[in-house]
Structure 1
Amino acid sequence: MRPAEPAASLTTPPTRRPRGRRRIARRATPYLLIAPTIATLLLVLGYPLFDMVVLSFQDMTRKELFAGTSPPWAGVDQYRVVLSDHFFWVVVARTVAFAVVCAALTMLCGLGFALLLREVSPWVRGVMIGVLVAVWAMPFMVAASVFRWLSDADYGVINWLLGRFTGSDFQGHNWFANPWEGFAVIVAVVVWGAIPFVAITLHAALTQVPAELEEAARVDGARGVTLFRHVTFPMIRPLFVVVAALSTIWDFGAFSQIWLMRGGQPERDYYLLGVYSFIESFAVNRYSAGAAIAVVTVLLLLVGSAVYLRQILRTGEIE
């Protein structure tokens, strides 16, 4: 009998996929993985943004809103009216100043807490982080109610403390009668709620600073501010800039704190861009003008977002 021939599977080399296909599949895989997220964002955020831009070029009134008819096309008339309004630029300047002050105070206080977290004992650190997380989790409505009680003209704790320790009479003092004092209270609300995120994030960055590097600097005579400025801070600077840009973007769009602190009826002296857009749209019923203000706000926010994304990319290149 003739011996059996060897199986074809033992002699035929396995079929290999072309290198080009593997390369294409490898490059396409990340995009396929994030495609559902991108589609969801376009559906949830992209369509309302597109609709708002279209509305800003129309002249929507209550007549079209109630009848369900298409509003007439107005072109750039809404933008011409908004951009030629002196009060609009006052609100823009006020919003920019508010965002810069809030972000600066938030970063300063958050950095201070982060440095303190690194120096205290582990159980104290755990308690502090728990308190920070509780503050961060507190809803805006609760925080606004607490600060409204603290700054109340008749029963506020702030007036009582100032009267007790300064000897002046603060009974009945209304902090919101003067916009400067009122914004000081609102800034305190915003900063108080934003410190936990900054403090915990920067503390995480500080834990990544090599102890050997700081120890070597101490051997060379660096202490205190000098050590932090020339050794510690350069190590956390990329993340610090990212968090600062993100905080500025959040504070630029502040709305809830002002709306709640003023009981849903903010005076014109307390208008920021978010409040101004809402009032124009739903209080004055100038829907297209409110949409135009919102579009300009988004364009201004893109400037801060560009800084944020640029730093993110630079951080990735460094790593």
Structure 2
Amino acid sequence: MSVVESPTTRRTGGSTPHRAPRRATRSRRSRPGAATPWLLAIPTLILLAGLLGYPLVRMVVLSFQNMRLRELISGRTPPWVGFDNYTKVLTDSVFWTVVGRTVGFTVVCVVVSVVIGLGIALLMRRVAYGVRMLMVVAMMFVWALPQLVAAQIFRWITDSDFGVLNYVLDKVPGLNYQNHSWFVNPWQGWAVITTLVVWAGVPFLAITLNAGLTQVPKELVEAATVDGATPWQVLRNITLPILKPLLTIVTTLSVIWDFGLFTQNWALRDGHPEPVYQTLATYSYTQAFGQSRYSLGSAISVITVLLMLGVMAFYIRQMFKIGEVD
């Protein structure tokens, strides 16, 4: 039986010619309309540069100067002092005490908020649909409440003379909370501030994590339950690994928000927080506007931004990683 050779087969010696694969797609830059997203984003970028970029540059420049009240009133250019402001800040023990207090407060708030938010999210998956919607609406109202209004509400609740918290606790046998001031003891005062921050932050965490729990396959959970896995084992080995990217993002966002605490402790202390209630944000504001040391306050703000850059870089990296997975 003979095989009829084609001209192509004869030219290649009986083997199929190997051709280099063509590129499936062109470079993104060569595609028509690739520049359209950038053109549409230009107005937003210009607006952000004006609203955020210019103040940031001015703050950095001011941190290398010695702006005092006389320069502010007269409009004269402040004298340049180089790194003197940063030297004063970084060698000040009070500053490092404030940094430690801010970091400790942030860690406590984030851990408590994430744990409670995850617990509420897990509870929302087990209740009826109507109850779940009622919980979402209630938490949305809490989340939408302005921080200043929420701080004033907590201030009234913990008021030493007319606060409802003292009234309720005073009715408990064996407790005497009549005219009790919650901010004389720093531990009690920070407990009030932490409760306010956690109360305001839990709705976002619970609603977001509840949405993430919808991505956990029910078949996988049911199979693990049939195999004898306990609820804790299901949570640790199935739920948490699937929620890990989302948990990382909401935790990082909570760190950014709580690290910049200002409104809550400022309002609860009537605009004059004592040294023991100072955080980096209030400490910078107090140095700049309370003592007219504007350049020193700018230096503290720049250092705060630098401390937060690592957290923000981690957050952006996680966002890109999730985008690549999607």
Same fold, judged at TM 0.5 (above): yes
Closer/same/farther in 2, CA of residues 160 and 220 from structure 1, 3 Å limit: same
Give the aligned partner of residue 3 of structure 1.
none
Q: What is the CA distance between 1:211 and its match in structure 2?
A: 1.3
Q: What is the CA distance between 1:154 and its match in structure 2?
A: 2.1
For structure 2, the residue ranges without an aligned partner over 5 or more in a row are: 1-25
Counterparts in 2 of 1:1-319, with a 5 A limit? Answer: 23-165=30-172, 167-319=174-326
What is the distance in 1 between the residues matched to 2:32 and 2:240? 42
3-state SS of paired residue (1:222): coil
Q: What is the CA distance between 1:166 and its match in structure 2?
A: 5.0
Q: Match for 2:292: what amino acid?
A: N
Closer/same/farther in 2, CA of residues 316 and 59 from structure 1, 3 Å limit: same
Indicate the larger mover: 291-300 or 139-148.
139-148
Closer/same/farther in 2, CA of residues 22 and 232 from structure 1, 3 Å limit: closer
What is the distance in 2 between the residues matched to 1:25 and 1:79? 50
What's the TM-score, normalizing by structure 1? Answer: 0.90
Q: Match for 2:218: what amino acid?
A: A
Q: What is the CA distance between 1:198 and its match in structure 2?
A: 0.6
Q: Match for 2:307: what amino acid?
A: L
CA displacement, residues 234-276 of structure 1 (integer Å, 9 cap, x when unaligned) = 1111000110010011000010001100011111110000000
CA displacement, residues 82-122 of structure 1 (integer Å, 9 cap, x when unaligned) = 11100000000000011111111111111111111111111
Measured on the aligned residues, the alpha-carbon RMSD in Å equals: 1.6
3-state SS of paired residue (1:263): coil
What is the distance in 2 between the residues matched to 1:308 and 1:98? 20
- Percent identity among equivalent residues? 51
Q: What is the CA distance between 1:24 and its match in structure 2?
A: 5.0
3-state SS of paired residue (1:119): coil
Kept in 1, the 8 Å contact 2:71–2:77? The answer is: yes
Closer/same/farther in 2, CA of residues 122 and 262 from structure 1, 3 Å limit: same
What is the distance in 1 between the residues matched to 2:28 and 2:303? 45
Q: Match for 2:264: what amino acid?
A: Q
What is the distance in 1 between the residues matched to 2:164 and 2:126? 32
What is the distance in 2 between the residues matched to 1:166 and 1:148? 25
What's the TM-score, normalizing by structure 2? Answer: 0.89
Q: Match for 1:276: what amino acid?
A: Y
Q: Match for 2:100: what amino acid?
A: A
Q: What is the CA distance between 1:161 and its match in structure 2?
A: 2.7
3-state SS of paired residue (1:165): coil
Q: What is the CA distance between 1:35 and its match in structure 2?
A: 2.4
What is the distance in 1 between the residues matched to 2:160 and 2:308? 36
What is the distance in 2 between the residues matched to 1:303 and 1:22? 31
Closer/same/farther in 2, CA of residues 160 and 22 from structure 1, 3 Å limit: closer
CA displacement, residues 283-309 of structure 1 (integer Å, 9 cap, x when unaligned) = 100000000000000001112112212
Number of paired residues?
A: 301
Kept in 1, the 8 Å contact 2:28–2:34? The answer is: no
What is the distance in 1 between the residues matched to 2:125 and 2:27? 51
What is the distance in 2 between the residues matched to 1:22 and 1:250? 37
For structure 1, the residue ranges without an aligned partner over 5 or more in a row are: 1-18
Hey, which of these two has a bigger chunk of helix by percent? 1
